Amino acid sequence: MVESNSDEDEGSARWVLACELRRLREASGKSLAQLAEDTNYDRTYLHRLETGERLSKLPVMEALDGVYGTGRLLVRLWGLARLDAFKDKYREFMRLEAKATIIHKYAVVVPGLLQTEDFARFVLSSAPTAVNQDAVEDDVAARIGRQELLRRTPPPSVRIILDEAVLRRPAPDPKIWHEQLTRIEATAQDPTMTIQVLPLAAGVQGLTGGPLSLLWMADGNAVAYLEGNRSGELIEEPAEIERYRLSYDRLRDAALPPCDSSTFIQQLVEDSRP
């Protein structure tokens, strides 16, 4: 039986996933060593998944679903469990984002939906205080896991306005930064994704003080999310959402058109080659 650290942990999606991983392995009669051989994942790593110490990543869950013949059960449980890696104030926004049909974002940093794994690891490791590497890896897995919403069927329609400063502030490692810019360029070619650059020459805009997300659901309901350094505000009042939507529209009008934005990003990719 998996031991939880607290009553709050027990019953969480992450705890349920850990218990199910342990149960499935024992029911299959496999040892951790045998499972490691079947999946090509380290025995100690697999053990830590079963104790809930690690969150893991989507490919691991897909491999284990394949070994146990459980369809996509573990993938679905993992989708719920990764929410545990985020603060409570963010969870409702992520739940809504994961099922939104239209997503509009204004970003002053590379948004999680566009980050490469290495860039996410750099960002999450850059806290001013000492960080636990296992915790960082869990956060990386959770952040990259959010990108699964882009591969839904049908996928959401996504528009992201990137402040030019986002693209002018590189990571210290040239290779990581080049790969990050390449990811943004490639993503911009997706027919369901529109990326625009808000040039510095556009001057101060009403929303340039912080990130904004606007989400529309299949039933027509909408929410806005304002993200701060340490907290976020989920806005559901229709009049407030409309105000932010109009502000976003002004940002979009001030930004470079999608074609010009793509050309701008392509040039940055070329200039960033190590």
| Residue 117 reports pLDDT greater than 60 | yes
Please choose, from the candidates 82, 76, 183, 100, the residue with its C-alpha nearest in 3D space to the C-alpha of residue 149: 100
Q: Which residue has the higher pLDDT, 32 or 205?
A: 32
Strand arrangement, sheet containing 222-227:
193-198, 157-163, 102-107, 212-216, 222-227, 232-235
Q: Tell me the C-alpha distance between 143 and 115, whole Å.
A: 9
Q: According to CATH, where is 1.10.260.40 located in the chain?
A: 13-83
| Residue 21 reports pLDDT greater than 80 | yes
Taking all residues of the chain, what is their mean pLDDT, rounded to a whole number? 88
Looking at residue 8, its pLDDT comes to 44
Q: Tell me the C-alpha distance between 184 and 181, whole Å.
A: 5
Q: Which residue has the higher pLDDT, 169 or 204?
A: 169
Which token pair is 204?
Answer: 């101060």
Phi–psi pair at 71, nearest 5 degrees: 65, -120
Distances (CA, A) of 65 to 57, 60, 73, 147, 183: 13, 9, 7, 20, 29
Q: According to CATH, where is 3.30.870 located in the chain?
A: 87-271
Cβ distance 222 to 229 under 8 Å? no
Res. 150 pLDDT band, cuts 50 70 90: very high
pTM: 0.73
Looking at residue 139, its pLDDT comes to 87
Distances (CA, A) of 64 to 41, 69, 80, 146, 272: 10, 8, 17, 20, 38
When pLDDT is averaged across residues 116-131 and rounded to a whole number, the result is 86
Class of domain 87-271: alpha beta
Q: Which residue has the higher pLDDT, 204 or 29?
A: 29
Res. 4 pLDDT band, cuts 50 70 90: very low
Helix orientation angle between 174-188 and 258-271, rounded to the nearest 10 degrees: 160
The count of C-alpha atoms lying within 13 angstroms of the C-alpha of 75, restricted to the half-sphere facing its C-beta, is: 13
The count of C-alpha atoms lying within 13 angstroms of the C-alpha of 128, restricted to the half-sphere facing its C-beta, is: 0
> Of the given ranges (6-10, 48-52, 128-132), which has the lowest mean pLDDT?
6-10
pLDDT > 70 in the chain, percent: 90
Cβ distance 148 to 79 under 8 Å? yes
| Residue 90 reports pLDDT greater than 80 | no
Q: Which residue has the higher pLDDT, 138 or 188?
A: 188
211-264 pLDDT, tens per residue?
899 999 999 999 999 886 555 788 888 889 999 999 999 999 999 999 999 999
| Residue 9 reports pLDDT greater than 70 | no
Give the number of other CB atoms < 10 A from CB of residue 3: 10
Q: Is 77 left (phi over 0), alpha (psi -120 to 50) or beta?
A: alpha
Topology of the domain comprising 13-83: 434 Repressor (Amino-terminal Domain) (1.10.260)
